[in-house]
């Protein structure tokens, strides 16, 4: 596959990088308002969708399982996360958001205005096109 280094491609890459940086800055600010680190907030966001085993959390966060244990311990100490047995394999422990953790994750999600506000200004057709383009860039099958 040929490498695309034309000016337009480079500009798009720079714009994507700027979006990522701004998103992370806003996410860190929102997390800090809840006395959370960015990693703690991301872990809580993951668990607000579904309970997960520690190893899967480590893969999703791209960190060592021992680091995940410490993060879960801290969130558990605050009542935001709990450990529970996996119903499919009682030897495995799942980390799950508590009701308070779910509320906190929802508040964090609601505080992220950077992308949501400008996206709301796009038409449904524009957002649909953007979603499809991003899915193609990421290699995600939309079906």
The pLDDT value recorded for residue 116 is 73
On the question of pLDDT at 2 being above 60, the answer is no
What is the per-residue pLDDT across 91-137, written as a single tens digit (0 to 9) for each? 889 999 999 999 999 999 888 877 677 888 889 999 999 999 999 99
Query: For residues 109 and 126, what is the distance between their CA atoms, to the nearest angstrom?
Result: 22
Contacts of 131 by beta carbon, 8 Å cutoff, 6+ apart: 142
For the cut 80, the answer to whether the pLDDT of residue 64 exceeds it is yes
pLDDT at res. 3: 62
The size of the chain, in residues, is 143
Q: Please name which of 109, 44, 110 lies closest in space to residue 78, comparing C-alpha atoms.
A: 44
Question: Mean per-residue pLDDT for 59-86?
Answer: 94
Ranges assigned E (strand) in 54-123: 81-86, 89-97
The mean pLDDT value for 40-59 works out to 94
Reported as a single tens digit per residue, the pLDDT across 54-63 is 999 999 999 8
List, in order, residues 6 or more apart from 48 with CB less than 8 Å away.
97, 101, 102, 105, 106
Model confidence at 49, in pLDDT bands (50, 70, 90)? very high
CA distances 55 to 51, 61, 130, 135, Å, are 12, 10, 33, 26
Average model confidence (pLDDT) across the chain: 90
């Amino acid at each position: 596959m040929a490498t695309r280094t034309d000016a337009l491609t480079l500009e798009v890459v720079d714009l994507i990088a700027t979006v990522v940086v701004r998103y992370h800055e806003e996410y860190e600010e929102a997390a800090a308002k809840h006395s959370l680190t960015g990693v703690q907030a991301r872990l809580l966001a993951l668990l607000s969708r579904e309970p997960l085993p520690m190893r899967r959390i480590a893969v999703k966060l791209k960190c060592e399982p021992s680091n995940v244990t410490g993060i879960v311990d801290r969130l558990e100490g605050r009542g935001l996360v709990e450990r529970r047995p996996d119903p499919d394999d009682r030897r495995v422990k799942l980390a799950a958001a508590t009701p308070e953790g779910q509320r906190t994750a929802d508040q964090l999600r609601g505080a992220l205005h950077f992308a949501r506000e400008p996206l709301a200004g796009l038409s449904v057709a524009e957002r649909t096109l953007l979603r499809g383009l991003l899915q193609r860039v990421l290699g995600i099958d939309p079906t």
